[in-house]
A and B are shown apart, each in its own frame.
Chain A
Amino acid sequence: MKLWPLFLTCLLALTRNPMRAALTVLGIVIGIAAVVAIMEIGEGSKKQISDSIASLGAGKIMVMGASVKTAGVSSGRAAIKASDAEILMEECSAFVINASPVVKTSAQVIVNGLNWSPETIAGGNEHYLNIESWKIAEGRGFDKSMVDNADRVCVVGRTIVKELFPDVNPIGQDIRIRDVIFKVIGVLEEKGAGHWGNDQDNSIFLPWTSIRMRLMGSPSTAVLTIAGAANKAKTNAAATFPSSSVALYPGTDLQSFTNAPHPLRTRTVNYVVAKIYDTENATPAMDAMTPVLRRHRGLKVGQLDDFEMRDSAQFSKMVTSTADTMSNLLLAVAMISLVVGGVGIMNIMMVSVTERTREIGLRMAVGARPRDIMSQFLLEAVLLCLVGGIIGILLGRLASIIVSVQNDWPVASSTSAIILSVSVAVIIGVVFGWYPAWKASRMDPIDALRHE
């Protein structure tokens, strides 16, 4: 038997009672629409998450001080030093592209009488902006000599430009951070909101040495001498704008500093961030970094690590898996409604088979084989589901578009949602159409013809 007459027969049978066909299909329509809408919304949020992860920088490992406990008493976190970043670059170059110490602070900034407090004031070395996936839109970033000299330069994000330099080109302008004047040498490209809705562009980046030496109240003169930038001591912020804070402890004078040298590279930082080659799997890099850091930090065999590492992939996996769990849960609920719709199809097909007993008998009498009857009713069920599926897809898309417009949720049209829902519709048609179709094909033509 060819397909066209079968197809026509089915269409005819379905159009014979359009109202019933429509109501039957409704269950499938709703189920498929729910599946499509949920998958599109899920896809959208997943995409948003992965976008924001990409903007945070993929393939990053953070090295932080672990909390140190002595006989069960916590004694704070172990220090991370700038040299930890250097050693990683030197000895783990197979895994680590580059690394940077990171120092963070928060402060009020002032430009021409405009006040603003940036979300982030962070310092790193010359690789830092690259590690954090920042791109320079205008001007330039800070280089090695600026880091070594603790130059008073900074790079600002878009929000800072908007708030503090509304009318002027920020490049070359002065910005006052906690009474120290810095020169803006670069503007960053926009990144948008971060994971937690924070404004990533509301940031100022400086050489970490500048934060450490100039903004955090260190014995800058001495350090700068060691850093080989004594000539800049005259312009030191503390001298220019005397800080109102009272030093609780006497500062280190040059004499004592010379007696106990405290070179730049051994200064503590908040953490060290390293960019690695493998963005997917950070484990090998971490395995290579651990012994290097242990040796560098003078840990003995048997001693616990006094640092901990966290990779961005781990973090992103955590966030995406939460989103995945949520959308899978919703998908399961939608699937249940599809099954309910399938039972509706089965019910109507049973009624249809009973109603058309004589037709079945006649078809069998004139030579339809049981499998011809079977395929006719099966195709009818599948056709119902398929039509329902197509309407459902359109409705689901509509729903997801409405949701995205109304609630400003991200949605992404997902081909896999369409493929999935169409195949689910067909499978439901086959599964729930099977029994009625089988029943029809088992009929005895003599009895069926006599049926009233």
Chain B
Amino acid sequence: MIELRNITKVYHLGEIDLPVLKGISLRIKEGEFVSLTGASGSGKSTLMNILGCLDRPSAGEFYIDGKDVAHYNENERAGLRNARIGFVFQNFNLLNRTSALENVMMPAIYALPAKSKTQIREHAIELMKLVGIDDRMDHTPSQLSGGQQQRVAIARSLINNPSILLADEPTGNLDSTTSVEVLNMFRELNRKQGITIIIVTHDPKTAAFTDRAIRMSDGLITEGVADELSIELKK
């Protein structure tokens, strides 16, 4: 379970303080399939970075499975990202001139305790079968279509068996047919494997595809906060 309480994020641009998140409280339960939407400048990217433990909040509490991760140091956050969070990006972010299989295996080399190469390889092949591109294992990203690249990226995000999958505009660079395929894949992963999936998007159709749409505006959540949390916070 992910829980945020009164998260604020302030950027210091020279003399000026720029508040981007102005007190976010949010709870995402394990196995949820949610989307995070909002206009650009609403702070959704910043929130996503905090959710992905890439960035630290300026103030507030942040728990993942009851652990206070707001005060984790750099190495602890790296370990957490590696073990618990899978990332899918809009522009896929695959390593060039590196085979699809190697790309999928990449995050596992940073895993602790270290796994053996064959173990990682087998798991990677399994995942590529799962996303349906096991026939393209030796292809480099430049030899793959956008949809195929995103499947490789999804397989990569799953290599360390994360409990949370964070997708930043996963369909942004894909045509509508492929987008639906990818979204269906997310749903499948959510249903069958119980992975918590958070999709950051500005596309209302994508948001509608998820179970809960969290809307942001001007650094605050305007819609989609779980009811019981609102009640809790009001108390």
Contacts and interface: CB of A to CB of B under 8 A. Distances in A.
B75 A369 contact: yes
B104 to A, nearest CB: 11
Contact of A369 (B52, B78, B157): B78
Interface string B28-40: 0000000000000
Interface in A299-331: none
Nearest to B107: A366
Interface string B144-169: 00000000000011001000000000
A342 interface: no
B75 A365 contact: no
A363 B52 CA distance: 14
B97 A363 contact: no
Nearest to B113: A2
B62 interface: no
A368 B110 contact: yes
A446 B95 CA distance: 17
Interface residues of A, number: 25
A365 B87 contact: yes
B54 interface: yes
Given A365-B81, A370-B74, A1 B109 contact: yes
A247 to B, nearest CB: 99
B143 to A, nearest CB: 16
A445 B54 contact: yes
Given A1-B109, A372-B110, A367 B78 contact: yes
Given A2-B114, A369-B110, A446-B55, A364 B93 contact: no
Contacts of A2: 109, 114
Given A2-B109, A358-B93, A449-B93, A366 B87 contact: yes
Contact of B78 (A5, A364, A446, A449): A364
B89 A449 contact: yes
A196 interface: no
Nearest to A4: B117
A417 interface: no
A366 B97 contact: no
Contacts of B114: 1-2
A359 B95 CA distance: 7
B83 A362 contact: no
A450 to B, nearest CB: 10
Among B79, B82, B109, B156, the most chain A Cβ lie within 10 Å of the Cβ of B109
Interface in B101-121: 106-107, 109-112, 114, 117
B90 to A, nearest CB: 10
B179 interface: no
Interface in B83-100: 83, 87, 89, 93, 95, 97-98
Interface string A357-390: 0110111111111111000000000000000000
Interface of A: 1-2, 4-6, 9, 12, 16, 358-359, 361-372, 445-446, 449
Nearest 3 interchain pairs by C-beta: A367-B82, A5-B109, A366-B107
30 contacts: A1-B109, A1-B114, A2-B109, A2-B114, A5-B109, A5-B117, A6-B109, A9-B109, A12-B98, A359-B95, A361-B93, A362-B93, A362-B95, A363-B110, A365-B81, A366-B81, A366-B106, A366-B107, A366-B157, A367-B78, A367-B81, A367-B111, A367-B160, A368-B110, A369-B75, A370-B75, A370-B78, A445-B54, A446-B55, A449-B89
Given A367-B107, A369-B79, 5 more contacts: A16-B97, A361-B93, A367-B79, A367-B110, A369-B110
